[in-house]
Structure 1
Amino acid sequence: MPHREENKPWKKLESLLVLGEGKALHDFLDTMNSAEIARAISRLGDEEQANLLTLLEPEDAADLIEELSETQGADLIEDLDSEHAAAIVDEMESDHRVDVLGEMDKDDAEAIIQEMNPEEAEEVRKLLEHDPDTAGGVMITEFVVYSQALTVGDVLDDLRTNAEAYSDYGVQYAYVSSMKNTLIGVLRLRDLVLSSNDVPIQQVMIVNPVSVLTDTSLEELEQTFDRFNFSGLPVIAPEGNIVGVVQRADTEEALSNRAEKTFMRFSGIIGGDEIRTEPVFVRSTQRLWWLAANLVLSLMAASVIIYFQDTVEKNIALAALIPVLANLSGCSGNQAIAVSIREMTLGLITHEDVARVVRMELVVGIFNGLILGILLGGFILIWKGDMMLGLVVGLALSLNTVLSVALGGAIPLLLRKVNIDPAVAAAPILTTVVDMCGFFLILSLASTFLL
Structure 2
Amino acid sequence: MSACWPNWVISIMSTLPTEKDTVRDTPAQSGQGPGSSPAREGGERGPSKFDLLLASVQKLLRRGAITNLTRMLGRMHSADIARVIGHLSSPKDKRTIFELVRGEKQRGLVLSELDADSINAVVADLQAPDLAWLLKDQESDDVAYILGVLPPERAQDALALMKADVSTEVAGILQYPKDTAGGIMTTEFFSLPEDATAQEAIRRLQQASDAENVFYIYVTDKDDHLVGVLSLRQLLTVPPGTPLKNIMTRDVMSVMVDMDQEEVARQVASYNLLAIPVVDREHVLVGIITVDDVVDVIREEATEDMLKMAGALEEDVLSKSSSLAAAKLRFPWLFTNLFGSLLSGAILWYFRYTIQEVVAVVSFIPVIAAMGGNVGLQSSTLIIRGLATGLIEQADAWKVFFREIRVAILLGLACGLLLTFVGWAWHGQGYLGMVVGMSLIVAFLVSTSMATFMPILLKRSGVDPAVAAGPFVTTANDITGITIYLTLATLLIDYLR
Band of TM-score, shorter chain:
0.7 to 0.9
Structure 1 counterpart of 2:210: 166
For the residues of structure 2 that align with 1:49 and 1:176, how far apart are their CA atoms? 44
- What do residues 2-50 of structure 1 show as CA deviations (whole Å, max 9, x unaligned)? 999997123335666x74x7x9638625335745751454124112213
DSSP-derived class of the 1:275 partner: helix
State the 1:123 CA deviation.
3.4
Structure 2 counterpart of 1:63: 109
Decide which moves more: 370-379 or 408-417. Answer: 408-417
Decide which moves more: 389-398 or 1-10. Answer: 1-10
Structure 1 counterpart of 2:59: 11
Residue 326 of structure 1 contacts residue 434 of structure 1 at CA under 8 Å; is this kept in 2?
yes
- What do residues 192-216 of structure 1 show as CA deviations (whole Å, max 9, x unaligned)? 567777x365378534263312255
Choose from 364, 377, 388 the match for 2:431: 388
Classify 1:188/1:423 alpha carbon distance in 2 versus 1 (closer, same or farther; 3 Å): closer
Q: Which structure 2 residues correspond to residues 40-55 of structure 1 after superposition, within 5 A?
A: 41-54=86-99
Q: Which structure 2 residues correspond to residues 219-238 of structure 1 after superposition, within 5 A?
A: 219=263, 222-223=266-267, 226-227=270-271, 229-238=272-281
Structure 1: runs of 5 or more not aligned: none
- What do residues 93-116 of structure 1 show as CA deviations (whole Å, max 9, x unaligned)? 3444445566x4xx8256424521
Establish whether residue 245 from structure 1 lines up as the match of residue 291 from structure 2: no
Classify 1:234/1:41 alpha carbon distance in 2 versus 1 (closer, same or farther; 3 Å): closer
Which one-letter code corresponds to 2:58 in the other structure? W
For the residues of structure 2 that align with 1:230 and 1:240, how far apart are their CA atoms? 20
Residue 211 of structure 1 contacts residue 236 of structure 1 at CA under 8 Å; is this kept in 2?
no
For the residues of structure 2 that align with 1:239 and 1:6, how far apart are their CA atoms? 49
> So what's the TM-score if we normalise by structure 1?
0.79
Decide which moves more: 335-344 or 5-14. Answer: 5-14
Structure 1 counterpart of 2:32: none
Structure 1 counterpart of 2:220: 177
For the residues of structure 2 that align with 1:315 and 1:178, how far apart are their CA atoms? 81
DSSP-derived class of the 1:31 partner: coil
Structure 1 counterpart of 2:369: 326
Classify 1:171/1:326 alpha carbon distance in 2 versus 1 (closer, same or farther; 3 Å): farther
Classify 1:303/1:363 alpha carbon distance in 2 versus 1 (closer, same or farther; 3 Å): same
Residue 42 of structure 1 contacts residue 277 of structure 1 at CA under 8 Å; is this kept in 2?
no
Which one-letter code corresponds to 1:291 in the other structure? L
Which one-letter code corresponds to 1:59 in the other structure? K
For the residues of structure 1 that align with 2:397 and 2:249, how far apart are their CA atoms? 44
Residue 268 of structure 2 contacts residue 274 of structure 2 at CA under 8 Å; is this kept in 1?
no
State the 1:360 CA deviation.
5.7
Classify 1:306/1:137 alpha carbon distance in 2 versus 1 (closer, same or farther; 3 Å): same
Classify 1:79/1:394 alpha carbon distance in 2 versus 1 (closer, same or farther; 3 Å): farther
Choose from 300, 305, 327 the match for 1:262: 305
Residue 278 of structure 2 contacts residue 285 of structure 2 at CA under 8 Å; is this kept in 1?
yes
> So what's the TM-score if we normalise by structure 2?
0.73
DSSP-derived class of the 1:8 partner: helix
For the residues of structure 2 that align with 1:81 and 1:301, how far apart are their CA atoms? 56
Choose from 328, 340, 345 the match for 2:383: 340
For the residues of structure 2 that align with 1:89 and 1:74, how far apart are their CA atoms? 13
Residue 194 of structure 2 contacts residue 245 of structure 2 at CA under 8 Å; is this kept in 1?
no
Residue 54 of structure 2 contacts residue 84 of structure 2 at CA under 8 Å; is this kept in 1?
no
State the 1:423 CA deviation.
1.8
Establish whether residue 296 from structure 1 lines up as the match of residue 339 from structure 2: yes
| Alignment length (residue pairs) | 438
For the residues of structure 2 that align with 1:6 and 1:29, how far apart are their CA atoms? 15
DSSP-derived class of the 2:470 partner: helix
- Percent pairwise identity: 25
State the 1:63 CA deviation.
1.0
- What do residues 67-115 of structure 1 show as CA deviations (whole Å, max 9, x unaligned)? 44x456555467455725555455443444445566x4xx825642452
Classify 1:210/1:322 alpha carbon distance in 2 versus 1 (closer, same or farther; 3 Å): same
DSSP-derived class of the 2:223 partner: coil
State the 1:129 CA deviation.
4.9
Decide which moves more: 324-333 or 265-274. Answer: 265-274
Residue 264 of structure 1 contacts residue 270 of structure 1 at CA under 8 Å; is this kept in 2?
yes
Which one-letter code corresponds to 1:340 in the other structure? I
Decide which moves more: 179-188 or 326-335. Answer: 179-188
For the residues of structure 2 that align with 1:349 and 1:191, how far apart are their CA atoms? 36
Q: Considering Cα pairs closer than 8 Å and 6+ residues apart, tell me whether 1 or 2 has the greater RCO.
A: 2
For the aligned residues, what is the CA RMSD?
Answer: 4.0
